[in-house]
Every structure is written in structure tokens, then in C-alpha cells.
With several copies, the nearest count.
Chain A
């Protein structure tokens, strides 16, 4: 009996949508517009997060090796760093390479170097990190090493960068959460307004002996269906606009490491579909309740 009843409710819901196309269209467009807005922000903010991670990974820690350090010790240090999970790569720059680099950097002022006796530049370990956030700890650890004279990692820059990126991440989260809440609210409120004109219908059904659930199910299905329709429209728009948008953005921001997760799009689209249907159904459920209680 139970599944039969649900089937009946579904049929009633679809029939009503068909018979009241104007109103259904209004509901669907509201859902589409809100989900589209939310979806676009999620796309942008997710891309931003990937970009932030890329920015952070560019952080280097440089450990200057004491001239008198034991080469075996240095080799040990290199090995243990290579096995560190936080470390992307380690490179050993010996004193000669350091001098050669300096010469190159100075360019036509390189003749200044010829006036200096010997090689005052130290050898160094250039460590590229996976995440900027591990820099301070690693630097502290390296400073303990006997072979290391000094550790340099642009403390100031890394600090700022981390502050900016974590601020941007938080902002992104707040925006997505806020827009999510707004989308939820607007869709539910729209459903309420739409159902307001049908409170007499609800009353009549109850007067003829319908239980609350018998009244509710068609409305829930209708809300779910219209929410799903709105989400489908959103998904089509986002799926169609994603690639061109990316290409355009990458062209605009050649200097920024814009990175995109290829598995992200299908996940987002599925979430939008599920979200649209869920919000639509829940919105109807909540809205109908108000008119059932009276």
C-alpha cells in the first residue's frame, strides 16, 4: 500500500506541475538562479584554493652550511630531508656554484667580485617545501644541526603569505557557507510564497479526510521535482560554461598558477543536483506544515 501511495503522490505532483506551468516555471527559475550563483562561487573558490596551495608550495628554506662542516654529516642531513614528508625536494649548492650564481646575478657589476679574495659565500641546502606552513618548524629543526650555520626562509614573506592564504581560505569558506544559507533560505521562502496560494487546497484535502502525510507527499514530490529541474538547468549551464571560462581566466592570469581539479566538476554537479532536489523537497515539507497546523 505504502509504495502505491507514494506513486500516487508522485503522479499528483507531476500533474500539478504540468497544469500550473507558469508557477512551476517561476519556482524553477528561482532555484536555477540561486544554485547557479552558488555553483559559480564554489567553482571560483575551489579554483582559488588550488591556486593558493600552488602558491604556498613555492616556498623555499635555505640552510647555509658551515665551511668547516663534515661532508658526511651534510650528506646525512640531505638524505633525512629527502625522506621528510613535508619536503618536496632538496638541492645541495656548493660554494663554487654559489659564487657562480652571484656572478651571474651581478651581471656587469661582476667585476666587483674580482676585488674580493677567496670565496666568502657558503654552501647551502635549498629545500623546497610541500606546504609553506611547515617552514617555521623545519627551520627550527635545521638550526639545531651542527653542520648548519644559519637558516633563511623569508620568515616575513612566509608569514604574510600564510596569513593571506589562510584568510582567503576562510573568506572563501564563509562566502560559500553564507551563499549556501542564502540559497536555502530563498528557495524555501519562495516555496512558502508559492504554497500560500494553495492553502485552501490543503484545507479542502484535510476536510475531505486526508491525513497530513497524504496531503504532504504530493507537495514534497513537487518541490523535489521542481528543485531537481532547477538544478538540472544549473548543471547544464555550469557544465557548458566551465571550460570556456577556465580558458579565458587562464589567458587573463598567465602569471598566476591557476590550477583546476579535473575530478571536481562532476562532484560539484552531482552535489548541485542532490542539493536542488533536497532543498526543494524540504522547502515544500516545511511550507506545507505551516498550513497543515491550522
Chain B
């Protein structure tokens, strides 16, 4: 599903964010991406959705060479992926309802009779049934984060990528969200979650991909947050 072959990413200014990373994440896997702040986790994720392009090496997602996607094929490619961005990236002038509905609308589902139940149910799942008509800046940090999660889920993507999705959530809500992600993974969605939440990683014992200073330093099938 996700394959990186000797991928490096150097940002303008010569900052090396990823350094010769090769990895393979098969379909239906649940993988954690861990590493200290500034290790290159978000950069890794940006490469997967072509928010950035690798400086060298190749990135395959869904059997497509992401770096060589034609401009017009990018939207269709991205619609098969759901992403929770570290900085949420909610649309400021759209309500919560419209933000969550957006990935479906992009798919061509424009009838609110069809959209409404799906939006409602996914907001219910993340614990936000009451703020449908508010704008993102009228929500608390954790509420915004959950809207971002809801938006990533709503269209049932093949791959779900979450960048630090519990950073603004209290432990209980964080656990509920993680349970939800596990359930979604169990139904067949490939999961990649960049996180600093040691508790969650240590408890779940799933695959752990550990990067540090842009290098892959550990890749364990049933790993913990810190190296054993």
C-alpha cells in the first residue's frame, strides 16, 4: 500500500528532513510513526499525499508513483486517502458540518439528504454531535482536532493517515479516538499514525516505525514507543 524506496527530503535552505528512508506498509496494517520533535514524521506524511515531493528516492501509495503523478490525477489520488493534519487545516469560512461534508462533496455527493446522515454519524463517533453550525474558530482546540479527524474518516478512505491526532485531547477522549481508529482499521483501512502518545503506542503493541533526524532507526512489528 505504502512503499518508500531510499527517500530523502531536503527543504530549501538545505534542511534534511528525511534521509534515505526505505519502508513498506502493507494493506490493512496499523502502523505508528514515532520519533522526537523535528524527526521528520510530518514530512514523511506530506510526501505520501504529495503535499511535498521527495528530493530523491521514490514514494508509492496505492501502487502509484506519487512523485510522478500528473497534476490532473492528484485529486483522485488524494480522495482515496484521509488525512488528519497536525495543524488541522480546517476551512475557516465553512461550518463544522460543511468542513466534514467537504470530502464527500469533492466526490460528487452534493445532496444534503445523503450528506447529512453521514456527517452526523461521523461527528457522533468523534464525540461532537452539537457543533454542526459553528465555525472552526468557535471551537476548542480538542474540538477542532476531532472535526479534523471526522473529516478524514467521512469518505471511508482506503488509507487513513493521522499526524498527531490526539495532541489536543484529554486522555479519555484520546483513547476513544484511538479505539475508533482501531475499529476503522479492523474494517480494512490501512492506518498510519504519527504520534507522541507513548501510552497509546505501548498499550496497542502495533507496528512502530521510529525515525530520528530523518533516518529510520527502528521498525518493529509489535513495538513500543521507546526501543526495548
Which of B54-62, B104-112, B169-177, B181-189 is the interface stretch? Answer: B104-112
What are the residues of chain A within 8 A of B103 when measuring CB–CB? 208-209
- The reply to whether the CB of A58 lies closer than 8 angstroms to some CB of chain B is no
Indicate if the CB atoms of B110 and A8 lie closer than 8 Å. Answer: yes
CB contacts under 8 Å to B, within A1-31, are 1, 4-5, 7-8, 15-16, 19-20
Q: How far is A72 from B192 in the complex, measured between Cα atoms in Å?
A: 108
Q: How far is A79 from B108 in the complex, measured between Cα atoms in Å?
A: 76
Given contacts A4-B110, A5-B110, contact A209 B93 (CB under 8 A): no
Indicate if the CB atoms of B110 and A201 lie closer than 8 Å. Answer: no
Indicate if the CB atoms of A8 and B105 lie closer than 8 Å. Answer: yes
- The reply to whether the CB of A206 lies closer than 8 angstroms to some CB of chain B is yes
- The reply to whether the CB of B83 lies closer than 8 angstroms to some CB of chain A is yes
Shortest distance in angstroms between A292's beta carbon and chain B's nearest beta carbon? 9
Indicate if the CB atoms of B110 and A207 lie closer than 8 Å. Answer: no
What are the residues of chain A within 8 A of B102 when measuring CB–CB? 205, 208, 210
Indicate if the CB atoms of A201 and B93 lie closer than 8 Å. Answer: yes
Q: Which of A1, A7, A208 contacts B106 (CB 8 A)?
A: A208
- The reply to whether the CB of A211 lies closer than 8 angstroms to some CB of chain B is yes
Q: Which of A16, A20, A210 contacts B75 (CB 8 A)?
A: A210
CB contacts under 8 Å to A, within B54-91, are 72, 74-79, 81, 83, 85, 89-91
Indicate if the CB atoms of A209 and B106 lie closer than 8 Å. Answer: yes
Q: How far is A210 from B103 in the complex, measured between Cα atoms in Å?
A: 8
Q: How far is A20 from B190 in the complex, measured between Cα atoms in Å?
A: 39
Indicate if the CB atoms of B93 and A19 lie closer than 8 Å. Answer: yes
Q: How far is A200 from B106 in the complex, measured between Cα atoms in Å?
A: 17
> Nearest A residue to B89 by beta-carbon distance?
A204
Q: Which of B51, B98, B105, B111 contacts A207 (CB 8 A)?
A: B51
Proximity bits, A52-74, B CB within 8 Å = 1, else 0? 00000000000000000000000
Q: Which of A201, A209, A211 contacts B91 (CB 8 A)?
A: A201
Q: How far is A16 from B121 in the complex, measured between Cα atoms in Å?
A: 26
- The reply to whether the CB of B207 lies closer than 8 angstroms to some CB of chain A is no
Q: Which of A204, A206, A207, A209 contacts B76 (CB 8 A)?
A: A209
Indicate if the CB atoms of B78 and A208 lie closer than 8 Å. Answer: yes
What are the residues of chain B within 8 A of A41 when measuring CB–CB? none
> Nearest B residue to A198 by beta-carbon distance?
B93
Indicate if the CB atoms of A210 and B89 lie closer than 8 Å. Answer: no
- The reply to whether the CB of A260 lies closer than 8 angstroms to some CB of chain B is no
Indicate if the CB atoms of B83 and A207 lie closer than 8 Å. Answer: yes
CB contacts under 8 Å to A, within B130-166, are 135, 151
What are the residues of chain B within 8 A of A207 when measuring CB–CB? 49, 51, 78, 83, 85, 89
> Nearest A residue to B74 by beta-carbon distance?
A206
Q: How far is A206 from B77 in the complex, measured between Cα atoms in Å?
A: 11
Binding site for A on B (CB under 8 A): 49, 51, 72, 74-79, 81, 83, 85, 89-94, 98, 102-103, 105-108, 110-111, 135, 151
Binding site for B on A (CB under 8 A): 1, 4-5, 7-8, 15-16, 19-20, 200-201, 204-212, 214
Q: Can you show 25 pairs from A to B with CB atoms below 8 A apart? A: A8-B105, A8-B110, A15-B94, A15-B98, A204-B89, A204-B90, A204-B91, A205-B102, A207-B83, A207-B85, A207-B89, A208-B78, A208-B106, A208-B151, A209-B75, A209-B76, A209-B77, A209-B78, A209-B81, A209-B103, A209-B107, A210-B75, A211-B72, A211-B75, A214-B106
